[in-house]
A = this chain, B = another copy of it.
Amino acid sequence: MSKEAQTDYKIHELLSKRWSPRAFDERPVEKDKILRMMEAARWSPSSSNQQPWNFVIGEKGNESWDKIFDCLIEFNQKWAKFAPLLILSVGRHNMISKDNENRYYKYDVGQSVAHMTFQATEDGLFVHQMAGFDKKKARMTFDIPDDYDALSVVAVGYIGRPEILHPRMQKSEIAGRERKSLKEFLFSGKFGETSNLIDHE
């Protein structure tokens, strides 16, 4: 199944073919592919090169997978149970060797997960990020220190058949992908004034 983005301007196919499925195949993710994803995250840029990203890796069948799964909200558990790989992203919110806050830790962890996703897509995998999980439970379960925050759970695997999903989830699984148009968020001169790069119709 392909849900390639309907783009107005041509973009790299690793970007246009990426989407966030819920139906994952049971096939495990190969160790070398997991490591390549992590290597990709590693070379992401960050503010003052603080590299605030950390990842707890759960492979289906092991204890970390079970513990991450147990932190998910019920809705996400209904489909994430199929994902062979669950990764908890954890960001450091203060600066290394300083007490001050790193205002860019979420921004930079988001970037590192995007890099991870790009590599996963190159390796034939799909990624679905989740905000819906119990952050306090994750902190207790994994003994996360105070200067770090659990930010997202990243499900990874090969694409599965939509039929394995709960009927209500099958609909969104096969629906088209939607985005705002470029003229809604590209500005020049002043915030809210559409950039003159966009042809006004």
Contacts and interface: CB of A to CB of B under 8 A. Distances in A.
B188 A58 contact: yes
Chain A interface size band reads 35 or more
Interface in A85-125: 90, 103-104, 106-111, 113-115, 117-119, 122
Interface of A: 5, 7-12, 14-16, 18-20, 31-32, 34-36, 38-40, 42-45, 47-49, 51, 53-58, 62-64, 90, 103-104, 106-111, 113-115, 117-119, 122, 129, 131, 142-145, 148, 151-152, 177-180, 182, 185-192, 195, 197
B57 A195 contact: yes
Given A55-B185, A114-B115, 20 more contacts: A8-B39, A11-B119, A14-B118, A15-B115, A15-B119, A35-B182, A35-B197, A45-B129, A49-B178, A51-B180, A53-B185, A54-B191, A57-B187, A104-B106, A106-B106, A107-B109, A109-B110, A110-B110, A114-B114, A143-B190
